[in-house]
């Protein structure tokens, strides 16, 4: 019988977003788990279809939310982020052996919730007359996964604690724009995503700080070093401090964040 990390790798390699998410949702929470084995991909990662076309972030067209097309483009961008988040959770599951069993169960829950988020946004996009793949997108989240593929500590620091935590910050402003455009259904979806993403960032914080403790590293100084080593862009305000507190950021980290310190996360 396949074990969890094998199934995570297989789902990551799946090109179809619908089949990928269905594969994730079908993994039983109590499936057998081999924490020690190293796995080797046989297909390019992550599996993806030809659409959406991937472009540089600066080349993603800016559209007004005052138009139906602009609103659909925003929902598409959010769906793309959530599908990337599915891939990121699957990647951390299969790639890094030797962690406690709870580590892998945590990331399976994250993958399932991200797949649910993608489904909500994909269905809403369909209600607007569009499908996932109709608009160009960028690949920034996965590019950081590639950079950190050889270091679990760096992956935890720079993906959930940095890039995904940015979602906590921008969610209130995006929700306000959607409400201003009269899209109450999309605003309600953002409420679900924010609730769950606080938990996802908290999982990243928990395991990052546990690894730092095991290695005798100061979490703040370690983050500063990793952000510098990997060329991670500094986050800019405004910050959702309440959400970040709920996700496990310390007051020292939040003060440094507001002061513009690299080590704030």
Please give the average pLDDT of every successive group of 10 residues along the chain, which has 265 residues: 93 98 96 94 93 86 83 96 98 97 98 98 97 94 94 97 95 95 96 98 98 95 91 86 96 85 45
- pTM for this one? 0.95
- Which domains does the chain possess? 4-36+61-264 (1.20.1260)
- pLDDT at 142 (0 to 100): 93
Strand, helix or coil for residue 210 = helix
**In the numeric block, which tokens belong to residue 88?**
């990121």
Q: Are 87 and 12 spatial neighbours (Cβ–Cβ below 8 Å)?
A: yes
Write the burial class of residue 146 (CB in 10 Å: 0-12 exposed, 13-18 middle, 19+ buried).
exposed
């Amino acid at each position: 019988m396949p074990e969890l990390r094998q199934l995570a790798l297989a789902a990551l390699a799946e090109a179809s977003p619908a089949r990928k998410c269905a594969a994730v949702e079908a993994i039983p929470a109590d499936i057998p788990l081999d924490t020690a084995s190293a796995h080797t991909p046989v297909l390019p990662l992550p599996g993806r279809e030809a659409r959406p076309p991937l472009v540089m972030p600066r080349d993603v067209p800016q559209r007004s939310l005052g138009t139906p097309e602009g609103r659909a483009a925003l929902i598409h961008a959010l769906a793309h982020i959530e599908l990337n988040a599915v891939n990121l959770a699957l990647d951390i599951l299969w790639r890094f052996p030797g962690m406690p069993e709870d580590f892998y169960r945590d990331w399976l829950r994250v993958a399932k919730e991200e797949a649910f988020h993608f489904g909500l946004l994909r269905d809403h996009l369909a209600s607007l007359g569009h499908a996932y793949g109709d608009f160009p997108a960028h690949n920034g989240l996965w590019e950081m996964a590639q950079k950190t593929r050889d270091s679990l500590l760096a992956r935890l620091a720079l993906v959930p604690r940095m890039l995904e935590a940015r979602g906590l910050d921008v969610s209130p402003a995006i929700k306000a724009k959607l409400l201003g455009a009269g899209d109450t259904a999309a605003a309600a979806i953002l409420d679900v995503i924010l609730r769950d993403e606080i938990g996802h960032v908290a999982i990243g914080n928990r395991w990052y700080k546990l690894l730092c403790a095991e290695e005798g590293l100061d979490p703040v100084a370690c983050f500063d070093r990793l952000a510098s080593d990997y060329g991670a862009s500094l986050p800019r305000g405004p910050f959702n401090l309440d959400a970040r507190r709920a996700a496990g950021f310390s007051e020292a980290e939040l003060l440094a964040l507001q002061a513009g310190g690299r080590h704030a996360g």
